[in-house]
Structure 1
Amino acid sequence: MSKMAQAFKIPESFPFTSMDLSTLLVFIVTFVLAVRFFKVKGHVQGNLPPLVPGGWPLVHHMPAFFTKNLPLQLHKWAKEFGDVYRVKWFMNKEVHVVSGYTAIKEMLEKDEFCTRRDRYVEIAVGGDQDILMAPYGEVFKKRRRFATSVFRRLGVKMGQGSIEYQIQEEARFICVKISGYSEQPFDVSSDLTTAAGNIICALVFGKRFDYGDTRFQHLQTTMKKLGEEMARWQIPFITFIPYVQDPAAGLRFYSKKLQLFIREEIDRHRLNLDPENPRDFIDYCLLQLAQQDGNEIWMNDDNVVYILQDLFVAGTDTTAATLTWALLYMILYPDVQQKVQAELDSVLGATKPNLAHRDQLPFTAATIMESQRIRHIAGLMFIRDTAESTRLRGFDIRKGKKLVPNLRSVHMDPEVWPNPDEFDPSRFLDAEGKVVKNPPSFLPFSAGRRNCLGEQLAKMELFLLFSTILQHFTLKVPEGAPTPSTEGINKSLSMGPVPFQLCAVSR
């Protein structure tokens, strides 16, 4: 017998046989594994949201996340499994889907769900250095309070000192541009993007650009390319796929180009900054940098660049997409367009629209709201990370879990909006014909701690640009052209219509 065999030989006096020892070892291993299993299960389980069954082996329901009808599919599952449920998408990884106005509103208002997550948007806007994607916390709060305060100082408000005049001027310029098409077919979305971008320029740089300005055209091209790159990665679940090349190379390239443009403008502002008379957002940022306490720095030079980039990325394409949808529905529903124009003619005559007219133009305001409802520019909101274990709608949500808020389930809920696919502005009018304030199941600007920073500005732009265009033009489908589709495509952070043309006939 070898020395090794002798070393492992069971002594004759040992009270157990080899079979007994094997049984004991199996029992011990089983016991340890069971303890570990139940310890983990006891920790993670509880009253978890229901899990969508079925799916493909290994990838489970991941194929559904690659379809353009994802919000619709998630809405269908919500009808079967409730407002909060779980979906497995790859290697047993899970996401929690939140549907319906009540559940989403509750989620948006809880601090534990206030951190956004989107890998490719974070790459484009600087990760945690901005406001849009910065983790929820004290630094985020200070940056957001600062931006909100600057907006008010720059006139994003009603009354004296409002930015209303600049928006009215931009509305006039876009009407001149539309007149130049001489009632021939054209794509209005490009001009609306230009107008929205110029309003942001007025806020950030203190000036607007002529549409033919070379630097402005360079800015517009960069913004368009950056938006196209962001649209490629609207579903962050695909990040596991291996690539030979960096899939985010385009995002980084065009983001850097936009940042270079912004840095050049910041350098120009530094040369002629008057601390007593700040002119625009950049000036206020430079003053903030100069007066910060060294012991509490929540904004630096790079933060300024990324925050300004937020204003362009989140404030240009979103407004333009909403206006494009609104004008599309005007050519699809000429009776609604005629009613809007009749109201404009009755109240305004030849007077240009101003913000004080909003209460006097309820049908016009309701038409804009219905455009926001029926074609929400984001079927899914930003994914949220769970900062701490908590509860939602009675379910246990563990720390680190990702939640997907399905906005489609809010705006297309037939129990709140009968015949939701029908365009009907009267949904937003009460029995007296006045606009319904704070209508339920309506979240065009999100809600809670991270509601849209530019909500007030966007409302001003939508009303003044939409009403001014319809005051001056009747919009229609070009003769012989097919009826435009109401299917949406991702253009950047927002979903816009499939490209279409219209004719604008002077009134």
Structure 2
Amino acid sequence: MMTLPVRFPFTTLDMSTLLVFIVTFFLAVRFLIKVKRPGNRPPSAPGGWPLLNHAPQLFKQGLHLQLDMWAKELGDVYSFKAMSDEYYAVSGYTAIKELVENDVFSTRTDGSISPAVGGDQDIILAPYGVFKERRRFATSVLRRLGMKMGRGSIQDQIQEEASYICAKISGYSEQAFDISADVTTATGNIICTLVFGKRFDYGDTGFQHLQTTMKGLGAEMVKWHLPFFTFIPIVQDPNAGVLFHAKNLQQFIQEEIDRHRLNLDPEHPRDFIDYCLLQLAQQDGSGIWMNKDNVVYILQDLFIAGTDTTAATLTWALLYMILYPDVQQKVQAELDSVLGATKPSLAHRYQLPFTIATIMEAQRIRHIGPVLFVRRAAKPTRFRGYDIAEGAAMVPNLRSVHMDPAVWPNPDLFDPSRFLDADGKVVNNPPSFLPFSTGRRNCLGEKLAKMELFLLFSTILQHFTLKLPEGAPTPSTEGTFKSLSMGPAPFQVCAVPR
């Protein structure tokens, strides 16, 4: 018996009518149906497209720039929407400090974070309760391994790495090269020394591949940091990219853990992995805040954050030396006067105020994280006079702190003297300056980053004068998110031995 083909009952006209109905329905919901929401809500950002809401504006301007523009019009707290997701932007030094120092806003995850990067098993994105235990452990271990000032610090390893990067730069023989690649290797080696107990040669292809993987993972993580990315047809599902890069990085970490387990000496732990293995043995594998599975994700956090953030900051500082040769000359004059041929050490920091101020100005003018991780309200609360629902997404706009003209006149001008007092000494804890964030979840590696930035920056400028290649265009200072940190667009530099 012949079976007749089943025909779709709708005509082209029917399908067009259905499509019009769906679009009309959503427009009605968006613009005509006014849902009354209880409480005092922050003002809403202007504009917005049907269905997409403010997403097109955010893409056109860039998230951090658009949030700044709205803040000038709407104030320190306002709401915006991207697709169906609503966010509350928080701007200004006082408001951001109030937000991040409040336990109610100390959780970053909402259950939608990709399991490829640990979900809630790491440190960076862990819920606040378990985060405190993991951070306390990590801080204690890093301090034992040398993340501290004075005797027993990691200064010797950083100085050694500074010598290695200078040797690498010297090998270019004044020819143009991309300094960001070598800076990333240097900062990566320092964190590898702490975490894995070893460093890698600059030409090591395996380590270079690992760095590429790390940057790729960071770039993919940016996509799901604000979930509306996943709804854009031209953008690949971010979880696919995260899984691809995370698998390679986690395989490397797991192999290191396995090697450490084979020759672990409980009486003489060598690095962060050893301390993790000892902690697991102490907990007998049943710890609530640490187990054998999330050790991989904790180490992944340390490796990515410890490499990417410091490398981006140092690259910005070196770029501004090229753009402001008078500042570079002043830094070098100070280094020559205080150090001569002596290699920089942490003890010299107080004798080199202009050098320190120059690093601080680089951190201010081009902060690597102009928008901090989204915070989630743990319960219904009030913030700055507004009612905030449980689970509300709060977006700290850190750029508004560092580019506030009321605090930093002509904020786009690179001027290290902002951080010096009338006596030429460094201003400690200046207002409206949060390079490592603040509050409950400020940067875990702040002390280490300060040590690295000072020793690497001062050593490079002690040995080389940096300048643009002949005829090269002036590098952009707009910044790009090649990973989780905002770094300079690629540029070439020539390093002339001094």
Fold match (TM-score > 0.5)? yes
Deviations 1:113-144 (A, max 9, x none): 1111488974452110000111111x211111
Q: 2:435 aligns with which of 423, 439, 444?
A: 444
Structure 2 counterpart of 1:360: 351
**Do structure 1's residue 130 and structure 2's residue 99 form an aligned pair?**
no
Tell me how far apart the structure 1 counterparts of residues 467 and 285 of structure 2 sit (CA, whole Å): 59
Structure 2 counterpart of 1:372: 363
**Do structure 1's residue 79 and structure 2's residue 72 form an aligned pair?**
yes
SS in 1 for 2:362: helix
Q: 1:172 aligns with which of 146, 163, 167?
A: 163
Deviations 1:6-30 (A, max 9, x none): xxxxxxxxxxxxxxxxxxxxxxxxx
Structure 1 counterpart of 2:342: 351
Task: Tell me the number of residue pairs that the alignment of Structure 1 and Structure 2 aligns.
Answer: 466
**Do structure 1's residue 317 and structure 2's residue 308 form an aligned pair?**
yes
Deviation for aligned residue 1:156:
0.3
Please, which moves more after superposition, 67-76 or 342-351? 67-76
Report 1:63-462 matches (<5 A): 63-91=56-84, 93-117=85-109, 122-137=114-129, 139-233=130-224, 235-241=226-232, 246-292=237-283, 296-462=287-453
**Do structure 1's residue 482 and structure 2's residue 482 form an aligned pair?**
no
Tell me how far apart the structure 1 counterparts of residues 98 and 473 of structure 2 sit (CA, whole Å): 43
Structure 2 counterpart of 1:469: 460
Q: Quickly say closer, same or farther: Cα 1:458–1:467, change in 2 above 3 A.
A: same
Amino acid aligned to 1:190: A
Deviations 1:92-121 (A, max 9, x none): x42111000000010000111111148897
Report 1:29-40 matches (<5 A): none
SS in 2 for 1:437: coil
Deviation for aligned residue 1:294:
6.7
SS in 2 for 1:303: helix
Quick check: 1:123–1:251 contact (8 Å CA) kept in 2?
Answer: no
Amino acid aligned to 2:106: C
Please, which moves more after superposition, 206-215 or 174-183? 206-215
Quick check: 1:122–1:133 contact (8 Å CA) kept in 2?
Answer: no
**Do structure 1's residue 502 and structure 2's residue 493 form an aligned pair?**
yes
Deviations 1:328-380 (A, max 9, x none): 00010000000000000111111100111111111000000000100011221
Tell me how far apart the structure 1 counterparts of residues 179 and 363 of structure 2 sit (CA, whole Å): 18
Tell me how far apart the structure 2 counterparts of residues 235 and 204 of structure 1 sit (CA, whole Å): 30
Q: 1:59 aligns with which of 45, 52, 63?
A: 52
Q: Quickly say closer, same or farther: Cα 1:387–1:464, change in 2 above 3 A.
A: same
SS in 2 for 1:128: coil
Amino acid aligned to 1:99: S
**TM-score, length-scaled by structure 2:** 0.90
Q: Quickly say closer, same or farther: Cα 1:294–1:217, change in 2 above 3 A.
A: closer
Deviation for aligned residue 1:214:
4.2
Deviations 1:434-466 (A, max 9, x none): 111111111111110100111111111100000
Q: Quickly say closer, same or farther: Cα 1:394–1:461, change in 2 above 3 A.
A: same
Deviation for aligned residue 1:88:
2.8
Tell me how far apart the structure 2 counterparts of residues 202 and 295 of structure 1 sit (CA, whole Å): 28
SS in 1 for 2:128: coil
Amino acid aligned to 1:340: V
Identity of aligned residues (%): 76
Tell me how far apart the structure 2 counterparts of residues 381 and 420 of structure 1 sit (CA, whole Å): 20
Deviations 1:395-437 (A, max 9, x none): 2111111011111111100000000000000001111111111
Amino acid aligned to 1:226: L
Deviation for aligned residue 1:74:
1.3
Structure 2's unaligned 5+ residue stretches are: 1-32
Quick check: 1:167–1:461 contact (8 Å CA) kept in 2?
Answer: yes
Q: Quickly say closer, same or farther: Cα 1:319–1:96, change in 2 above 3 A.
A: same
Quick check: 1:189–1:320 contact (8 Å CA) kept in 2?
Answer: yes
Q: Quickly say closer, same or farther: Cα 1:421–1:119, change in 2 above 3 A.
A: farther
